[in-house]
Homo-oligomer: A and B are copies of this chain.
Amino acid sequence: MAARKSASKNKNKNKNKKVRVALVQMACIDKPDQNVKKALERIGKAAKAGAQIVCLQELFRSRYFCQSEDDAQFELAESIPGPTSKALAKAAAQHKIALVGSIFERRAQGLYHNTAVIFNERGEMAGKYRKMHIPDDPRYYEKFFFTPGDAEPGFFATATAAAKIGTLICWDQWYPEAARLTALAGAQILFYPTAIGWHKEDVKDIRIAQADAWELIQRSHALSNGCFVCAVNRVGTEDGLTFWGGSFVADPFGRIIAKASADKEEILYAECDLDSIDSTRRHWPFLRDRRVDAYGGILKRYGQS
């Protein structure tokens, strides 16, 4: 019995796997090329610091252009593959990292998406996620710009050398369904490139409540699914919006293990111990008991209709 126990222990030891992630929290200016240049530099810096997976913030190439319904902004969009996705692919291959980028995608004339691209360590595009939940609020006129994702399945995980990862984008953050489906697809780490900020009219209490809520909902996805969550937000003020940064990594029990400032550009690093997904899910076995026979109403808009 002692031998068996020892063997079991060795087996666990062998699969022990810690993954170093880096989240690039930036401010953006009105010159896309310079934003891309800055992002590429920081990707390189993160890789040198040992990052195996790097994630950029939402729409890092430009200022957050959805603050008004200005059709001139469609000029920012690019095809995939296109200049930015090619630059990211090259960076991933050069640094031998997995890389999650965010692109304003021109899919066809008059058809645009808010898209995350996932490159593996060989620089191959391993996944392309088109934002499924599109917000539309004052200063976030995204329904004007982006068609919601329509792939099947809409939510998925992507294998990289370091971990199986899932990518969701900003407004998706508020939907437990999106996190659940991505985790059920096998994602060990969920990445949320984001652009969220305070209106200049918001008073302090409202600002705190909003940032708290944003953190809370994403920590809850880590907890309910027993996986890591990485949220990557921008900083800086663009017109009336001040992006609140606060990029963070939550562990499978929903605890924050790394957190960036609210107002500074930085690269946030964290070690994600993939074995802790096993141990957390064994002790809090939520996946064991899901009532898949009784969740049919999730596919309804409201009530039975």
Contact = CB atoms under 8 A, between A and B. Distances in A.
Interface of A: 132-135, 137, 148, 153-155, 171, 174-178, 180-181, 184-186, 209, 212-213, 216-217, 219-220, 223-224, 253-255, 283-287, 289-292, 294-303
Contacts of A176: 176-177, 180, 220, 224
Contacts of A220: 176, 216-217, 219-220, 224
Contacts of A209: 253, 255
Nearest to A176: B176
10 contacts: A133-B290, A133-B291, A176-B176, A176-B177, A176-B180, A176-B220, A184-B303, A212-B255, A292-B301, A295-B298
B291 A177 contact: yes
Q: Quick one: copies of this chain in the complex?
A: 2
A175 B286 contact: yes
A213 B223 contact: yes
Contacts of A300: 184, 292
A219 B298 CA distance: 20
A184 B294 CA distance: 14
B289 A134 contact: yes
A211 to B, nearest CB: 12
Nearest to A143: B289
Contacts of A253: 209, 213
Identify the interface centre among A154, A219, A290, A300: most chain B CB within 10 Å of its CB: A290
Contacts of A286: 174-175
B292 A299 contact: yes
A277 to B, nearest CB: 14
Contacts of A298: 177, 180-181, 292, 295, 298-299
A178 B64 CA distance: 35
A94 B202 CA distance: 46
Given A171-B289, A216-B219, A302-B184, A297 B224 contact: no
Contacts of A301: 290, 292
A235 to B, nearest CB: 22
A297 B181 contact: yes
Contacts of A153: 294, 297
